[in-house]
Amino acid sequence: MIDQINLFTGDASIQYSITLNIILLAAIVILTLIFYLIARKRKYERLVKEKQLDTQQKFARELLDSVPAGFILLTPNGTIKQVNRQAATELGVQKQDIRDKNIREVFSIFHENLNILDKLLSLLQKDEQEVTLPPDTFIHGATNAISFLVKGYFKNVTGEEDSNYIIFTFRNVVTELTQEYVLNMALHRTKIFPWSYDIKCNLMIIDPRYFEYLGIPAGDCTLTNEQFAQMVHPNDIEGVITALTLTVHGSLIETPVSYRLRRGDGQWEWFEAQSTYLGQGTQTPFRLVGVCMSTQEHKKIEEELTKARDKAQQSDKLKSAFLANMSHEIRTPLNAIVGFSNLLVDGDMSFQKEEIKEFLSLIYLNCEQLLALISDILDLSKIESNTMVFNITEQPLTPLLQNILRAQQINVPQEVELLLDLPATDTIITTDPLRLKQVINNLINNAIKFTSKGAVTLGYKQNNDQVSIFVKDTGSGIDEDKINRIFERFYKGDNFVQGTGLGLAISHTIIEHLKGTITVTSKVGEGSCFTIQHPVKKMGY
């Protein structure tokens, strides 16, 4: 019995052991499977993460390559870890050729002929977070001939696991600066000022040079509608506001708008503006851009051309009148000369001695008149062709005027007195005596012509480095509306008085050549006074 019990007990123990082993084996298998599945999951997650990271890195590379600026990622000691397409293109290298190289082996950064690359990197190592390149900085390739102006900056950044890097981003600005400098030079020389108009804010933004040119405070270089309107001439404001309103509401005006602006000194200056749209909004333009240009010089030239045209037209009319009257002016003395000469040589007629003397006097006077007429025409021709000759010498003024007075005594009517008003001390001037004498004689002849009674006074006064030579009469005087034209060619204040209208114009030209001026003051019924301001001695003679 005992043996049977032991046998049964032994079999149960074996079965228990087998069962336990099976359970252990199953547990091992299950654990192995679990570990396998965990490993597979981790591997999968790692592969997914690696793929995501690779995708992110690829996206980052593509994003950097699409940036129109150069981008280089450096370690603190200057080793290049990443570079985008634009940087490689600007530097004239391949990305793979410079990766893991030190930046100093690829290019240098020069400012004022000094390589400042090490200085910039050292600033970043001294806790500077960002260092901007100074103006007029160049990049020079270390192994090629690349060289260009650059704008950019270095910046410290922190990567994964607190790793430190330096980002260098830059732009090649050669083309940009060239266009900017050329544009600025063109704008400066032509007095053109760019502007834009913010429709939403109703604010005009203008080139700072605009305020400097007008001599007004620049402020923030903006003007409101009200501020700008206050600067525009009252007669022009309506046209400017109308043009701006139409443009703001989408009606583009292609023709320039002219207007006057008040400068800082209170003077008015002509401007011309033209604009276009910067994009079209839903209902109105997004912004207006344009230029305004000072046209003051053009206006002056236009006015001068208009005056010259009017003067030429007036001169043509006067020349036509001159030519029409010339035959009369020439025939009048010639008829007298020929008529009285024929009377004297006619043997059938006898004249008394007094009559013959009177005829000869008339012939002489008409010969003088004819010679003066021809002389004026010849002088005019010399002036027109710029061939009038001047012989400049030193000339005592008192004896010159005394000689003129003596010669003019025979021309003075009986009721007119010819007087001389001279200072006590003589003055020596540098002049052409013959031309000056011609001018003074012409002034005296005019004075005698328009003075029926009274006096004609010739004299001079010295004022420092000038002398004032004057011819004053008590004649009929000159109307105020005629006095401004008295020195014009072919102009005659009185068409009923003999003369060609050339004498005063010729005199004016002669005095100008002698570096002097000639002016006139007159009052109708009381007489006139012509004054020559002549330098005593003028450099350049």
Output the DSSP codes for 268-281: EEEEEEEEEESSB-
Contact criterion met (CB below 8 Å) for 72 and 85:
no
Please give the pLDDT value at position 316. Answer: 75
Query: What distance in Å separates the CA atoms of residue 333 and residue 339, rounded to the nearest whole number?
Result: 10
The domain 389-535 having CATH identifier 3.30.565.10: the answer here is: yes
What is the distance between the terminal CA atoms of the chain, rounded to a whole angstrom?
Answer: 168
Integer-rounded Cα Rg, in Å, for the chain is 51
The pLDDT of residue 353 is 78
The number of angstroms, rounded, from the C-alpha of 244 to the middle of its chain's C-alpha atoms is 25
Does the domain made of 322-379 have the CATH classification 1.10.287?
yes
Question: How remote is the C-alpha of 498 from its chain's centroid?
Answer: 51
Extract the residue ranges of the chain whose pLDDT is less than 70.
1-11, 48, 50-57, 59-61, 159-162, 279-283, 318, 321-329, 332, 347-349, 369, 380, 383-385, 489-501, 538-541
H helices present in 67-206, as ranges: 85-91, 95-98, 117-125, 174-190
pLDDT at site 339: 79
What pLDDT, on the 0 to 100 scale, is given for residue 539? Answer: 44
Residue 520: beta bridge partners?
Answer: 530
CA angle centred on 335, ends 330 and 337, rounded to 5°: 100
Structure tokens at 393: 């010498």
Distance of CA 86 to the CA centre of its chain: 40
Burial class (CB in 10 A: 0-12, 13-18, 19+), 406: exposed
CA distance 237 to 250: 20
pTM for this predicted structure: 0.46
- Note the pLDDT of residue 472: 94
β-strands 192-198, 416-421 pairing: unpaired
- What angle, rounded to 10 degrees, do the helices at 433-449 and 503-513 form? 150
Per-domain residue ranges of the chain: 25-66, 68-177, 191-294, 322-379, 389-535
Q: So what's the pLDDT on residue 7? A: 46
CATH architecture of 191-294: 2-Layer Sandwich (3.30)
Check residue 498 and give its pLDDT: 57
What would the CATH number be for the domain defined by 68-177?
3.30.450.20
> Do 68-177 and 322-379 agree at the fold level?
no
Residue 205 near residue 218, CB atoms below 8 Å: no
pLDDT of amino acid 268: 93
Structural contact between residues 394 and 425, judged by C-beta atoms closer than 8 angstroms: no
How far apart CA 245 and CA 250 sit, in angstroms, is 9
pLDDT at 116: 94
Q: Which residues contact 10 (CB under 8 A, 6 or more apart)?
A: none
